Amino acid sequence: MFDLHPSVLERLEVEIVPQLGEVKPYRPKQLKEHPQAKKYFT
């Protein structure tokens, strides 16, 4: 599996981020099973 870019990890760590005119948690479903991101989806 590939390593996530540090900026992706930073976005996962903060509570909410701007996304397409909205402000909400950054939780792309494509990362749900990635080892580095999994803990943010619990």
The 8-class DSSP code of residue 14 comes to S
pLDDT digits (tens, 9 = 90+) for 14-34: 989 999 999 999 999 999 999
Nearest Cα residue to 11 out of 33, 23, 27: 27
The amino acid sitting at 31 is: L
The pLDDT-based confidence of 1 (bands split at 50, 70, 90) is confident
Record the pTM. Answer: 0.81
- Per-residue pLDDT at 42: 80
